[in-house]
Structure 1
Amino acid sequence: MPFSQLPPPLAEALRARGYDQPTPVQAAVLEPEAAGRDLIVSAQTGSGKTVAFGLALAPQILDADSVLPPPGAPLALVIAPTRELALQVGRELEWLYAGARLVSCVGGMDPSRERRALNGGAHVVVGTPGRLRDHLERGALDLSSLRAVVLDEADEMLDMGFREDLEEILDATPSTRRTLLFSATLPKPIVALAKRYATDALRLSTAGEERGHGDISYQAVAVAPADIERAVVNLLRVHQADTAMIFCATRENVRRLHASLLERGFDTVALSGEHSQNERNAALQALRDGRARICVATDVAARGIDLPQLSLVIHAELPRDAEILQHRSGRTGRAGNKGTAVLVVPFPRRRQVDGMLRGAKIKADWVPAPTPEDVRRGDRERLLAALLQPAEVDEEDVELGRRLAAERSAEELAAALVHAHRARLPAPEELLDGDAPHAAGPAGPRPGFADSAWFRMDVGRRQNADPRWLLPQLCRRGHVGRGEIGAIRIGADETLFEVAGASAARFLAALKRTAGPDGDDGSGVRIEPARPPTGGTGG
């Protein structure tokens, strides 16, 4: 159905906002077969789904003459997983249904003010599960006249533990109400929820065969475990995104990476469960108005955030599964904009990541980690492009330029300008070069290795073991230099390596200090003493 066939108030609102044609999800919910039916819609965040369900709700909100009835008990209820998403949905519906009375009920806002607003009547209520349940139990939320309920990002609400809240809210709605369930993915819990609360639901999918977003290009960068943070720095510098989001697995790692990026000179904010609502609001506002360009966040803290200018997502710590990968990456590539998602992959986990990408039907390009020269090359190209752009100057600029030209040559002035520009940029990071270790030769052991000690690592060829990342890790774990590591022999599932005799005791002591309960240092690689391999002991 083209927009011109919609109720006149909605068609006019869309025209005023510059909407010419419906997006795929909007077109799907407007098809004649979807009219009046319960819907299960698989659509990505940023695909225009808020406007889609807003349009689908028109028969339940407007009367036969396409006019809003007087406000009373709400006619439609929209439930979203986070405060940010609920408020964003509310803003969208406000312009779509001009003149409608819409009440938002979300955590972090004054509940007594929300109750007063509900008592004054509403056409649509938008809220988060916990706050809506609270108003329902207090008798402030009257669902007796409800004609439709929308569950937005239903998979995330279940992931966040809102099942009981949702069930209590849905159980309080009339059995005749229409149910619209929107979800990026449709795992078994979502299907079970729909089976219980939807009747003869029509399933619509606009995500396509590829589970990744069509407007997101995926890259994977394999690095030594000790190089992850340095690789993140170089990725930020190479891409120079207007806004970037970096994902970590824990609050502690968010705190550490945030502090490290601030120290390096990046304009960075952090979002995790340890931040208050006011801190969260301040961080998001800093991103929106350009005072910050980078956000370091945990999975849960980033849910429901909409930053239209976000063009880069970096997975500094790998997602637990393909669904989390999709949710994280879906922060970019929204509403027709292009985005890039980069996975920073420790060498031992490359096989695991390959499997996750295959399972998600996401094609990712494996690319080398950016080097300092890559960063500097990008800086040069951007600087030349910026300085060669036509610029508007006033008389004061021209006069200052004359004074400078009288004191210095054009070459000196250009060099000073370049230096001033580069001085503002965080320095790129040198990654461990992973030079190939010394190989055993026919002339016998190298000096210092006649009484060498051998150790075993529980990674081998099947785990993509490679001397380029093994050697830097051995040096870091054992607090030794490259010259103190001898032969490295990589087997199918294990690697044997040699440490100079004079360094073996120090190497073993360092291993014990840095090892956790499972014998590794958190990298997932265990190191322990071993017998010399058959066929010689020398490096």
Structure 2
Amino acid sequence: MPTFSELGLSEPILRVLGDLGYDEPTPIQEQAIPVMLSNSDVIAQAQTGTGKTAAFALPIVQRLRDERVPQALILAPTRELAMQVAEAIYKYGKGRRISVAPVYGGQPIYRQLRALEQGVQVVVGTPGRIMDHMRRGTLVLDQISTVVLDEADEMLDMGFAEDIEFILQQTPQQRQTALFSATMPEAVQGLVQRYTRDAKRISIAAEQLATPRTRQTYYEVMPREKLDALCRILDVETPSSAIIFCRTRSEADALGESLQGRGYLSEVLHGDMSQAQRDRVMKRFREGQAELLVATDVAARGLDIPDVTHVINYDVPNDPEAYVHRIGRTGRAGRTGLAITLITPRERRMLQIIERASRSRIQRQKLPSLADVAARRREAFRDALREVLEQGDLDPYILMVEEMSEEHDAVDLAAAAFKLLLNEVEQGETITSVEGDAAGVEPGMQRLFLDVGRFDRIRPSDIVGAIANEVGLSGKSIGSIDIYDRFSFVEVPNEQAQKVLHILNGVSMRGKQVRVSIAKPKR
């Protein structure tokens, strides 16, 4: 399979694609990009979600002149698609200061007027609003060199045929025309005959997508809430082995770092890693040293891990086929699996496309509350208690109970022990990140975050011993210590904080290397 560098794209664009984590072109990109760069007309039949936006957007960005006049016009059937395409072009043109104006109904027109008055190179919009600006004289198309009809069949189904023809007639005859459509009904064929010249035809066969026997659910959240939502879901689901998918390498790195900072046993896998690094990550994941694997699609190809209990789409894939490949990582060998997808309100349409293409029903779920998380922790505590009872070896503790039962009822003793053990869990209910409570820190002390906790069998004496032995700080100088399920906080004198931070990072506690950072104050 060719790489992006073999398709004729410029070095600046290749750098942007590298930064975005794009590894290989999709079939539509492989065929359409060289044709678009050659200035030929294009008729492409491809399903939504096959990567067609990049197929026309990358050549447009590469061929733009620096002059701030409309040079490319992209027509889309809906405001959601128009916004997505505009964002993609802006992203691909990073570094060149590409000016893009999304133009659609439902948005105050004065914003669009201001953008058009300042001068734009690419206009993306719905036919009705584009015509509105043309009639106002605020959008002139006499220097348009490329016109793209995105999802042409859907635009015609929505009754935009006359609008499209009116717009095309106002553009220069020597323009490049590219038409992308999932189907080719007669109405689309008529547009092709009237408004394209010697067009190159591209057809990407739609595959029959089959979903595995995996329960599929989704949660709708705002973009800024995704990380906290993911952590709540993880705390309720408590997966023993889960793959979390991100679109790009940079997003995978950022999410992996955030999860590690919050105390989750996670590793990251993507195409920028050496084979030795990949092997080391996979060994830790297969052996259960890491519960979560944050990965990109390319990095996860060919992985054979039969015991994955959960697949989580942190980012919605742009390709229905990629969705099916992702969720196929769970529910193998007769086992049950759960596929969870996080979507933002603007991604509902993509989810509907995935449902249609995969012929599956993805059920909406309500995001777990903090009370749900606390209840799940108590349930996990009960499960752990039953496991200890089954294992036996309780003689020393039975002796302690017998001694104390002379003064207290055995049921009261058990309740007191539960309260003592669960106290940390109850305190942890309000903590949703690595943030500490700056208001509660003693004067002259600095609060530090450690990515080890009760699940790692960490006790206060372990933290005190590590600081005392490795840093040489006396136990009396150490302030309060709070230990939660997956992380801990410790207070040390301000003047010693950087020294503790530097020396303690990488020190092993209970067989696990510790990461230490300054606890951020709650906002």
Q: If the TM-score is normalised by the length of the shorter chain, which range does it land in?
A: 0.3 to 0.5
For normalisation by structure 1, the TM-score amounts to 0.43
